[in-house]
Structure 1
Amino acid sequence: MEQDPELIHRWSEAKAAAWAQKHGWLVGCNFVPHTAINQLEMWQPETFDPFLIDKELGWAEDLGFNTIRVFLHQLLWEQDSQGFLERIDLFLSIAHKHGIKTMFVLFDAVWDPFPSLGKQPEPRHNVHNSGWVQCPGYDVLNNPDRYDELQSYVEGIVNRFKDDERVLIWDLYNEPDNMNLTSYNDQDYVLHKAELSRELLRKSIIWVRAINPLQPITMGPWQEDWSEVARLTRIDHYMFSHSDIISFHCYKDAEITEKHVVDLKRYNRPMLCTEYMARPFGSTFQDILPVFKKHGVGAYNWGFVAGKSQTHCPWDSWQITYHDEPELWFHDIFRANGQAYRPEEVSFLKQMLKEKKEVLLAEEVA
């Protein structure tokens, strides 16, 4: 019987476990500099700011973060592939200088379905992620005949960095079935989004598996009931069963978060929570990180420095007007000047991650 091309080169459980052992407990954040409203503004040559990135990643290093999750976009590849690769390489050098490994996200189904290059919009006042864009946009996702146009983007990025130790892992698709019902409402534009995204994801897996990079692959499920296989959506089952390393999103309190972790142990693979930390929901550093540490789950909170993405404002800012900065921030850790929103959170992170580093150093000596 011919082997499923999507599963060729899928890592064994033993290989995945060895990868996790090599990297230890991974803790970091989803990163975009505070002057960028989205992935395009972060990476376009006119607004790419390596000096600011260096400064902000210095703050991440000071906390003890050892990894970040960063979003790319195919329009940047189509605009100037060589320039884009050069900026990615520079970014990786900056992160590496700070002892930080990078997870790159290739596709993203969340927020504005109509991305365009050039000057990006100014933020809508106190609206959460008012300018973040999907990748690919509606015009490509809604036309499967165009999916092969994305092959050069996927292969070009992965091939360039397939042996690069500065890249930790490839996250192929962020929340591919998210319909953005409370913001842009994709059901007005795209029918059967989950099925379309699954087909693009399937092709992406084949493209990346053929390259067989040094790094593992993962994908970003976000639905909330993974208690048993029979309850999984078709696309979540597909993502879990094709990932080398299991990743998931959870913005719930410690009890629900731990239940997700326990449920996902059925896959017998290392785990990363690639999005968490929403203070109003009881998803805080003090409550959630001890759960992840207990189970050895990597952790990436959403948001780092509050800025043009405005993710310190809540999701419901799309429905409710917030004239002033919310008293309780939703995401993010620092203000643009480097001042901590909650100094006690920063102290907690430094202490917990210092203890992690001391344990790793002790193990190396032993």
Structure 2
Amino acid sequence: MMKKTTLLLTAALFASALCSQAGASERWTEKEAREWAAVNPWFCGFNYIPANAINYTAMWDRTSFSPEVMDRELALAEEVGLNCARVVMQYAVYAENPKHFIRALDKFLEICDKHHIKAMPIFFDDCAFGASTDPQTGIQPEPLEGWYAWAWSPSPGHTMVIDERTHPLLETYVKEVLTRFADDDRILAWDLYNEPTNGGLAFRSMPLLHKVVKWAREVEISQPVTIGVWSGDEELRRFSIDNSDIVSFHCYSDAAYTREMCRQLKAENRPVICTEWMNRPTGSTIASVLPVFAEEGVGCMLWGLVNGKTQTDLPWGHRPEHGEYTGPWQHDIFRGDFTPYDPSEIDLLKKYCK
């Protein structure tokens, strides 16, 4: 208990020092947001996790961080013309060894830059699909055949989200990462929290969501911040929009509903990016929805790139007892051998992205 108390006190003092050194920022004005959009391209990209990583802990962990895999896969994305990648950072890896995590993030950004891809790092993620709601560093489990993302690891994990006594540690993490990369033009934007209240947490996520916004505003950074609109709850939706420099949202629906969402959010008079889409079984397909984003001038980041250990070709909620899945892939555009799942999709992406 004494050790934990000392860690929390040290974290609070360090976060305070970072805040006083870095200054503070306010939400961008609509004019500032539009000026940012004017000097950037139309963003068309993907949510990224390496095919050899079963979760984001594996992506960043010192036992399995694989820059050579990332280099090959991001080269594939560059060939298609995709120009941005969204990725969850794992607090547990930072907590174990902050220097390793910062080096790993810097290396990932170096690889992105090599392939002309801007990154959108995410600090926190509530999603959980089966095995655990709290991450463990080190060697990760192997896939369980027939189970969608069974070993997915939230960040920082549900226990820390709920236990506000641990939040000073998270404040240190957020502020150190933001301060280190405050003026890094390899970063498109910072996504502060992926799908808060998901994974069964409900509104127990709200205290951390409010805090991460405050922490981010206490650091002077050059990139925009965003929180994706993803649920139908109006309070959460409004909070996410009102605390975003650029508006982002998730939509796995058909073309008509996607267009409606685009137009609703464009009414905020800020740049808009759909940071999660493409679910073939629900009608969110490249053939039908990509043209909508292009016509509406809304950026888009599909899920995902190369199919691998997360088994996101399966539908949400699929379990081994459901038997073999024979329907269309839910996510991913390339097989593990880098051949396209559907060559016509790649042709269409190249048409719009290049």
TM-based fold match above 0.5: yes
Task: Tell me which residue corresponds to 1:183.
Answer: none
Task: Tell me which residue corresponds to 1:149.
Answer: 169
Query: Aligned Cα RMSD in Å?
Result: 1.5
1:19 and 2:27 are equivalent in the alignment: no
Task: Tell me which residue corresponds to 2:256.
Answer: 255
Distance 1:177 1:294 in 2: 32
Paired amino acid for 1:220: G
1:272 to partner: Cα distance:
0.6
- Write the deviation string for residues 81-127 of structure 1: whole angstroms up to 9, x where unpaired: 01111111111111101000000000001014121111111111121
CA contact (8 A) 1:305 1:335 kept: yes
Task: Tell me which residue corresponds to 1:220.
Answer: 228
Task: Tell me which residue corresponds to 2:5.
Answer: none
- Rate the CA distance shift 1:332–1:117 in 2: closer, same or farther, 3 A: same
- Write the deviation string for residues 311-362 of structure 1: whole angstroms up to 9, x where unpaired: 11111314862435x34111001011111010111111112212xxxxxxxx
1:209 and 2:217 are equivalent in the alignment: yes
Q: Superposed, which structure 2 residues align to 1:268-283 within 5 Å?
A: 268-283=269-284
Distance 2:58 2:179 in 1: 24
1:143 to partner: Cα distance:
1.3
- Rate the CA distance shift 1:295–1:320 in 2: closer, same or farther, 3 A: farther
Paired amino acid for 2:286: F
Task: Tell me which residue corresponds to 1:98.
Answer: 115
**Percent identity of paired positions between Structure 1 and Structure 2:** 39
SS state of the match for residue 318, structure 2?
helix
Distance 1:38 1:122 in 2: 10
Distance 1:316 1:272 in 2: 26
1:205 to partner: Cα distance:
1.3
Q: Superposed, which structure 2 residues align to 1:226-305 within 5 Å?
A: 232-305=233-306
Task: Tell me which residue corresponds to 1:364.
Answer: none
- Rate the CA distance shift 1:275–1:95 in 2: closer, same or farther, 3 A: same
Task: Tell me which residue corresponds to 2:78.
Answer: 61
Paired amino acid for 1:212: E
Distance 1:198 1:136 in 2: 14
CA contact (8 A) 1:313 1:330 kept: yes
CA contact (8 A) 2:227 2:248 kept: yes
SS state of the match for residue 32, structure 2?
helix
Paired amino acid for 2:330: F
Distance 1:59 1:79 in 2: 32
Distance 2:153 2:186 in 1: 26
- Write the deviation string for residues 255-294 of structure 1: whole angstroms up to 9, x where unpaired: 0001111111221111010000000111011111111111
Paired amino acid for 1:350: K
SS state of the match for residue 312, structure 1?
coil
- Write the deviation string for residues 44-91 of structure 1: whole angstroms up to 9, x where unpaired: 111111111000000000010010001101111111101111111111
Task: Tell me which residue corresponds to 1:125.
Answer: 145
How many pairs does the alignment contain?
328
SS state of the match for residue 273, structure 1?
strand
CA contact (8 A) 2:294 2:352 kept: no
The answer to which of 117-126 and 35-44 deviates more is 117-126
1:337 and 2:337 are equivalent in the alignment: yes
CA contact (8 A) 2:252 2:284 kept: yes
Q: Superposed, which structure 2 residues align to 1:317-332 within 5 Å?
A: 317-318=318-319, 321-323=322-324, 326-332=326-332
Distance 2:157 2:310 in 1: 19
1:41 and 2:49 are equivalent in the alignment: no
TM-score by length of 2: 0.89
Task: Tell me which residue corresponds to 1:173.
Answer: 193
Paired amino acid for 1:233: E
- Rate the CA distance shift 1:12–1:341 in 2: closer, same or farther, 3 A: same
Task: Tell me which residue corresponds to 2:158.
Answer: 138
Structure 2 alignment gaps of length 5 or more: 1-23
Distance 2:206 2:25 in 1: 18
Distance 1:40 1:119 in 2: 9
SS state of the match for residue 227, structure 2?
strand
Task: List 4+ stretches of structure 1 deviating above 6 A.
Answer: none
Distance 2:224 2:111 in 1: 22
Distance 2:38 2:320 in 1: 44
The answer to which of 197-206 and 57-66 deviates more is 197-206
Distance 1:17 1:29 in 2: 23
Distance 2:302 2:87 in 1: 12
- Write the deviation string for residues 178-219 of structure 1: whole angstroms up to 9, x where unpaired: 1x3xxxxx3xxx5xx32x322112111111111121100001
Structure 1 alignment gaps of length 5 or more: 1-6, 181-185, 225-231, 355-366
Task: Tell me which residue corresponds to 1:158.
Answer: 178
SS state of the match for residue 317, structure 2?
helix
Paired amino acid for 1:248: F
CA contact (8 A) 1:174 1:221 kept: no
